[in-house]
Amino acid sequence: LINSVLRKIALTEIELPNTDNKIYDMSIAYSCPENLVTHFVNDYGYIKAEEILKASVGAVPVFLRVNTLKTTSNELIEMLSNEGITAKSLGNGTTLEVVDGGAVFKTELYKKGYFHAQDLASQDCILNFAPKKNDVVFDVCAAPGGKSFTMAQMMENQGEIYSFDLYDHKIKLINDSAERLGISIINAQIGDASIYNDKLPKADKILCDVPCAGLGVIRRKPEIKYKDFGFVDKLCALQYNLLNNASLYLKKKGVLMYSTCSLSKKENEEVCEKFLEEHKDFI
């Protein structure tokens, strides 16, 4: 019955509302609850909010991070083509977009560690973080490990990466993927990022990629739209605590990166502004 109704709807031209209530109109046009539309409008204004909503619907692209420890972008494109999968390079030498061909993560190339899945924003995060060979790096909320893997590849598998998470099964996931990718510098271990551990060394660079409301990934996870966002205030307190604790491990003149996959200024700018206000030794 549901399939029948949806097929009928798909064949019918839909007339979108055009009322004096822009929040309502955008809510219908982009299948998004009014409270979330209001949130985006309050943070970004109507024009930017609509751009965000447009980007939140439609087919989800598949991006791959080329494992530069094992292959190159051009070589991987050719090997995927031999598997019946079409991919194109996005020009930076490390990122491919799958254009056609199906289950790329069931191929032997995946099993042999020639690539891992990683969205563009996640890759951009690490490109800006710019870890170097022989750095000591912390990834304090690491699972499932994609950013740690990209860092290891940028570091040419030389140095130390400490990848922490709260749960044993997530540490196993990181270790298994690191082995598949041929990465040996990741030290994955259980660690509570909110509690200081004086047994750990100081780090040149620390990635604090915190738990968040996920408002930047609703195209991939549309169920996020229907959450009650009353929990964001508690999240912000946790995010600040994690950032504050992470900063204690940093060497002088080191780099601390704070990141989320959210689009809430309360979770992003406001957390950073509070941190800078209370930590005058950081810029």
Q: Rounded to whole angstroms, how far apart are CA atoms 24 and 18? A: 9
Burial label for 212, CB within 10 Å (0-12, 13-18, 19+), is buried
Q: Quick check: is 261 catalytic?
A: yes
The bridge status of strand 95-100 relative to strand 86-89 is: antiparallel
Q: What share of the chain is helix, strand, coil (3-state, %, to 5)?
A: 45, 20, 40
Q: Taking each helix axis from N to C terminus, what angle separates 22-29 and 34-55, rounded to the nearest 10 degrees?
A: 60
Picking from 121, 126, 142, 138, the residue whose alpha carbon sits closest to that of residue 211 is: 142
By CB atoms closer than 10 A (0-12, 13-18, 19+), residue 84 is: exposed
Residues with Cβ within 8 Å of residue 223, at least 6 apart in sequence: none
272, 229 contact by CB (below 8 A): no
Q: Among the options 141, 208, 212, 261, which is catalytic?
A: 261
Active site residues: 261
